[in-house]
Chain A
Amino acid sequence: MIVKDIIDILEGDVICEGDLQQEIKTACGSDMMSDVLAFVKDQSVLLTGLVNPQVVRTAEMMDMACIVFVRGKDPDKGIVDLAKSRGITLLKTRYRMFTACGLLYTNGLSGGTKV
């Protein structure tokens, strides 16, 4: 799956665009950034209901290419500028966390861990 596929599956609105061809192998959905930081997975997408700059920084530290804000939340300019400078794609989707994760999962994306 590539970033572009995630946009299509989640019917996402692109807030800022990084490399849409980048391959995504796993996903992580959480509002607690330390939980996200606890499991390094390769080439992951982050789904979150949390909207603050630390979400972008967390993705940056983890080399994540894409962040999805669920329930249609809008990040402010500071967040968008930070993501732009890091080359991270930001999307928002009207789907809620459970549904957004489920849609990606049924389309073949895994959590990257057995549990």
Chain B
Amino acid sequence: MSNAIHLHYEVSSEDFTRAGEASGSVKKRLKSLGFNGDVIRRVAIAMYEAEINMVIHAEGGYCDVDIYPDRIEVLLADKGPGIPDVDKAMQEGFSTAPDNVRTLGFGAGMGLPNIKKYTDSMRIDTTIGEGTKLYLTVNVPQ
């Protein structure tokens, strides 16, 4: 017996307008489970930035979400190009996004720093030419 709730989402990169569907749906679920508003917002924002990254920098992928009473864990995995220099990618303002992404409101190089800010732990496993896995945890204050 475990009280974990597992959610799985496929994230398609075909349609930019749908990016954020998974995050929105997790948000709704956390709300219905009665989590505190601040925790829900932190999960939703971090996951949303990561979902956008999967769509604009990789070719989509999937998210796995595990909801425990004391924490929420999110894995976002893509089969994109990988991140050559993670330290650089983590810097505020660093972005390789093309201009058309910027006209859509993203590509300011604030996504990964935002994710770091809103989560209690963040790990990036990335391999050039294979893809990127982003592991996020948000703790629930007891």
State which of B59-67, B108-116, B134-142 sits at the interface with chain A.
B108-116
A50, A55, A63 interface centre (most CB from chain B within 10 Å)? A63
Number of residues on chain B facing chain A (CB within 8 A): 25
In contact, A33 and B105 (Cβ under 8 angstroms): yes
Q: With A and B bound together, what is the CA distance between A62 and B37 in angstroms?
A: 10
Tell me if A115 counts as interface (CB < 8 A to partner B): no
Q: With A and B bound together, what is the CA distance between A54 and B44 in angstroms?
A: 14
Q: With A and B bound together, what is the CA distance between A67 and B48 in angstroms?
A: 18
Tell me if A53 counts as interface (CB < 8 A to partner B): yes
5 other A-B residue contacts (CB within 8 Å) besides A32-B102, A32-B110? A37-B45, A48-B105, A61-B41, A61-B44, A61-B45
In contact, B27 and A60 (Cβ under 8 angstroms): yes
Tell me if B17 counts as interface (CB < 8 A to partner A): yes
A-B contact list, 7 entries, CB within 8 Å = A34-B105, A37-B110, A37-B114, A57-B23, A57-B24, A61-B24, A61-B44
Tell me if A52 counts as interface (CB < 8 A to partner B): yes
Tell me if B16 counts as interface (CB < 8 A to partner A): yes
Tell me if A40 counts as interface (CB < 8 A to partner B): yes
Residue ID in chain A nearest B47 by CB atoms:
A61
Tell me if B78 counts as interface (CB < 8 A to partner A): no
Interface residues of A in 31-65 (CB under 8 A from B): 31-35, 37-38, 40, 48, 50, 52-55, 57-58, 60-63
B23, B27, B48, B102 interface centre (most CB from chain A within 10 Å)? B48
Nearest CB of B to A53, in Å: 4
Tell me if A78 counts as interface (CB < 8 A to partner B): yes
In the complex, what residues of A have CB within 8 A of residue B27's CB?
Answer: 60-61
In the complex, what residues of B have CB within 8 A of residue A86's CB?
Answer: 24
Nearest CB of A to B3, in Å: 25
In the complex, what residues of A have CB within 8 A of residue B104's CB?
Answer: 50, 52, 54
In contact, A34 and B17 (Cβ under 8 angstroms): no
